Amino acid sequence: MNSITKFNANHLIVENDSILNNEIEDNLISETAVALVYNDISHTVMMCTSQDLEDFALGFSLAEGILTDKKELYGLDIVENCNGIEIQMEISTRQFVALKDKRRSMAGRTGCGICGVEQLEQVQQSCNIFQKSDRLQNISPLMLDECLAQLEKHQLLSKQTGASHAAAFFSPEGKLLAIREDVGRHVALDKLLGWHAKADKPLGFVFVTSRASFEMVQKSLACGIEMLCAISATTEMAVRIAKENNFTLLAFTRKGKATVYSGIERLVL
């Protein structure tokens, strides 16, 4: 399946109280239903683009605590059908049993998203899977403009459609090591975290084109990342989790400026 579909459309321009109508061929980003299946049991279905799905499956599994190490993923097959795509994974028995126990504990709950005391306690408990580290040091904010320029330059899907988010990984010196794009910001990050695991967790930081919600911080922490830069805003819960876990969090990271909410000690000022 392709990540881009061409459609005919009418491009309207209002100029001097008149309307110009131009017929154009436009590129639209494609959303595909992707089911994540563990040991023949379907876990969830996500809407995302169809590229880098192996990275997505591994990154999602690690970020959600389904796996604790890439070695626990024994096999992976991508199967297309008329309704979408299945990512069929074989994982270790130990992790599959833990996943089934987790699914049973979730049965019967109501509400949307993470709401209420019980769910908030679970968010806090998930910090137990965080791989805390303090290896990343001496990051110069002076290089962030160049990182932003590299990020914009390599957003190929965004350039063609204008509808994708990106997550990129940079070395401590500011060299772009990988970039992943998707219609969803969380999926773009999951894909990047999958690459990071397969690359044996190189040292560096993540730069995203979206806001930095608590899930973005949480996913990064779960995979041993120590620093996240976001182009847009962050949230109170994201900052709280970052501070509690010695995580460096920057938001509004744009040309010539950034706001540091946590972990400023990693930066050279």
Catalytic residues: 112
Contact 25, 6 (CB under 8 A): yes
Residue 193 to residue 56: CA distance in whole angstroms: 8
The letter for the amino acid at 82 is C
* Residue 32 tokens, joined: 């595909």
Max CA distance (Å), the chain: 68
Contact 258, 147 (CB under 8 A): no
Contact 54, 211 (CB under 8 A): no
Q: Kindly report the number of other CB atoms within 10 A of residue 152's CB atom.
A: 14
Contact 90, 75 (CB under 8 A): yes
Q: Which of 48, 50, 51, 226 is nearest to 134 (CA)?
A: 226
Rg (CA), the chain: 20
